[in-house]
Amino acid sequence: MLITKELNKKIEKEYFFIKGKIEIDSNYFIEKIKQSCSSNHNLNYKTNVKSLMTPWDFFVNDKKFIQIIINFVDYIDKNYNMVSYKLHEAWGIQVKPNEKTNFHTHYQTLWSGVLYLNSSKQNLIFPDIKEEVKPEPGSFALFSNFLNHGCERNKEDFSKFGISFNFAEVKNFQ
């Protein structure tokens, strides 16, 4: 074997990270998440969420969720030059006491986000860009798919609730 050159370096890459707050009906979404997580149709402890989780597509067709997500889409469309995309996944999480979300990325998508439904001290951490999101009803973050993120253990005596979502590129194949 002849190796003529080998590079192992990091390069700067453009990304976006947006956080804010929006009006929501937290109780509606929390109740739906609780019902799904206690049913036989869930992803509890099977993903990077090391706690309770709905199926990946649980909120994709939910009319109340779509009304919220349209605001995010309008903002992204106005301020960023993206290829065509669509809502690909939207799932609910219930992170119980002493549980966490492993640090991970969403490389398989175009961009991602999270919408929190209740207050918690279990912040969403983005270590590579030194940002955090404090969960409060209606607080959200929208971010580039490759940004590493996760949460340390929930040290409170109640669950944190949120909805995570991914947008994927729409590819036109003939």
Helices (H) and strands (E) in the chain, counts: 2, 11
Tokens 């994927």 label which residue? 168
Give 50-91 pLDDT, tens digit per residue: 999 999 999 999 999 999 999 999 999 999 999 999 999 999
Res. 9 pLDDT band, cuts 50 70 90: confident
* Residue 104: its H or E element: strand 100-104
Please report, as a single letter, which amino acid is at residue 76: I
Q: How far is CA 43 from CA 33, 52, 54, 77, 98, in A?
A: 11, 7, 6, 31, 18
Res. 173 pLDDT band, cuts 50 70 90: low
Q: What is the pTM of this model?
A: 0.93
Domains, the chain, ordered by start: 22-160 (2.60.120.620)
- CA–CA dist 107, 165 (Å, integer): 13
Query: What integer pLDDT is reported at residue 7 of this predicted model?
Result: 87
**For residue 29, which of 68, 56, 75 has the smallest C-alpha distance?**
68
